[in-house]
Structure 1
Amino acid sequence: MDRPRPQPGSAHAQARGPLARWPWWLALAGCALDLVAFWPGQVSFDAAYAWWQARHGATLGVTPAAFVLGWRVSDWLGAGPGLLFMAQLLWFWSGLALLAQSLRWPAARGACALAGIALLPLPWLLRSHVWTDVGLLAALTCALGLLARAQTAQRRWPWLAAALPCLAWAALLRHNALPASVPLLG
């Protein structure tokens, strides 16, 4: 069932004043605080082993090949886990901001919902790690935000197209990501 999209010039389609960007400002502040507090990201043995594989050209069956490839790209652009960590944070916080903005709530309420979700114990504790689980969380959060934004946008296809790489990354990171990713395609 398709929801009616806002018409150009309608109250929902127009900017909602200075508070309209609250979710984005809050997401920017949250991402910056996470980067400062946890840079370059916490790396456990499993993630360090994937990093070792990336640095030595090995791809063993224990770690998803996409995660090792992510480490290779991160290492090529700048040594260490920092870039992979930053990408995970950008996906997570952008997804939350898109979700908050897509809700038909006042901007301040959407920003409070964003903060409430971000401060739940699980995402709060996991965001500091460079793990496949956190990459999955970040990619699916971003995909969900993009898909929610597509529901309220005049032109849906750019938002839907932007969600596909997030869903693909999630599916490549974890073998159990398909049950979470496939329903979002429907």
Structure 2
Amino acid sequence: MKNSLRNQLQGGVLLCFLLISATSTGMWLPRESHIPWQQCRDASQEVLKQLWKLNIKKPEVPHTTISFPQRIECKDRCDPDSLGKVPDSLCLTKIREGLHHYHKLLTRFSNSGLTAELQDALNSLLQLLLIEDGGSQKETNSPAILDNVQEWEKTPLQNFTLWRLQSFAVVVARVLSHCASLSEASMI
């Protein structure tokens, strides 16, 4: 009885191993495969580099409510396995919308000492990801809330925005690096 159970378990482990190895070879890029993934990877790393230069510390949550893009969640299928197996643009749509929103927010903070390099890097990445639309982006929730913000509230809001952008940019860089590696592998 013990031997048959052991043989079944070993057979099951072998079957799982074969299934995993068979499915891992079937990786493909999301439908937007004409996007220059290597350039997107480099641009996302440049955004991170510029954010790290600002030495952002975790700020206190500002008292003013501001609309931020939704966070990337597991259901968005941004993980490497899903990106490789399910050619779905939900992940990339959320990334585009988030980058567009942060770009608009940072434009509002442009007089407060933000580096032009950060804004340029963010704009470059956004343009690379919008190639499929011809560079257009549908209007998302406008950060008009900054119009009603007192001057003394802008610095905490800017710090909080940069902190949120930094964590968003890390996820974006990981996703785009994976897409770039899939693209490079398909060229071989």
Greater Cα radius of gyration, structure 1 or 2: 2
Q: Specify which structure has the bigger relative contact order, considering alpha-carbon pairs within 8 angstroms and separated by 6 or more residues.
A: 2
TM-score, normalization: structure 1? 0.29
TM-score of the pair, normalised by structure 2: 0.28
